[in-house]
Chains A and B, each alone.
Chain A
Amino acid sequence: MRHNVYLYILGMWGISYLIRVLPLTLIRREITNKTIRSFLFYVPYVTLAVMTFPSILSATQTPVSAALALVAGLVMAWFGLSLFQVSVLCCAVVFVVELIL
């Protein structure tokens, strides 16, 4: 590589940090606007759901194991298993399914 890679890494870090820190430091008060509050209330659930599907299907060696982990994860979370339990059991589902397939 011709150019200084560390300079690029530092630049990538700098811009990412600015994006992450600016709203948190600039918005110091509670937002009172009802629409914005409602929007921010829904953002986490929507963004996590969007990030989960369909990308989970391409995370493993075969979409079948991932699909089963998805169903298992939804059911386990619905019935109130903890974050750690859901996470580890999803991994276990993929491991066992790929062992059988």
Chain B
Amino acid sequence: MLTDRKKWFVKGLKDGIPIMLGYFAVSIALGIAAKNAGMTATQATVASALIMASAGQYIGFTLIAAGTSFAEVIVMEAIANARYLLMSTALSQKVDPALPLRHRMLMGLWITDEIFGVSVSVEGRLNPYYIYGMAAVATPGWALGTLTGVVLGNVLPLRVVSALSVGLYGMFMSIFVPPARKNPVIAGLVIVSFALSWAFNALPWFDAISSGMKIIILTVSISLVAALAFPVDGKEDRHAA
């Protein structure tokens, strides 16, 4: 199925472009944070090319700068990135059950919020080459944005960085809005998610919880209630949105 692979890889390259643009903008801020934490351009760029996790990297950089122990950094990193467990689980049901281990191991490298969001919304089974295509353009965007942030973060026009920063949210919306139009349960969940997420961020009681943890708590609780109240049967749960 060589042509199938090629088709998905090329589609991935194309759909990866908005991810790349958004990553470039967002990671400039990350680069500036890395510089403030005393990291070199090389260190920050290598970290971004490997880790590809905004909140996780922010926390990591801050803790390294503060001289935190290795074990503590690892634990915090695990907490900040725990939502990927959920995403990886969802993808495990989206790929062909016969997909070889090597592809599963390779795909795992690039499970980010954005690549996950786009992959999970394809119709039918997910072909790993789709993820490879997206990663091939998104990863350089993330790494080069970080480098740009370290080297000339304060020179770029703020207005440009500001405009590019909403690109990723535009992507998210184009993923969850069309299914919400078709399925009233999803529409309701989006509204509930917006409201609870706002409450979690606005109310002072939740200040002690990290932003990564808030995402997990909200995702698990809202999805669980929805699964119990509105179980889906066989056909529609293939994310054919």
Contacts and interface: CB of A to CB of B under 8 A. Distances in A.
Contact of A60 (B43, B163, B174, B179): B163
B152 interface: no
Interface size class for chain B?
Answer: 35 or more
Contacts of A55: 169, 201, 211
Contacts of B14: 84
B199 to A, nearest CB: 10
A94 to B, nearest CB: 4
Contacts of A59: 162, 165-166, 169
Nearest to A84: B18
Given A48-B176, A94-B166, A15 B74 contact: yes
A1 B160 CA distance: 33
Contacts of B56: 12, 16
B156 interface: no
A29 to B, nearest CB: 6
- Chain A contact residues, majority secondary structure: helix
Given A9-B50, A78-B181, A48 B172 contact: yes
B140 interface: no
A43 B237 CA distance: 11
B169 A70 contact: yes
Contact of B117 (A7, A44, A80): A44
A91 B95 CA distance: 32
Nearest to B52: A16
Contact of B174 (A26, A82, A93): A82
Interface in A1-44: 1-3, 5-13, 15-17, 19-31, 34-44
Interface in A35-70: 35-56, 59-61, 65-66, 69-70
Contacts of A8: 60, 64, 70, 73
Q: Shortest 4 CB-CB distances between A and B: which pairs?
A: A21-B108, A90-B170, A77-B177, A49-B193
5 contacts: A5-B39, A73-B177, A88-B21, A90-B167, A98-B159
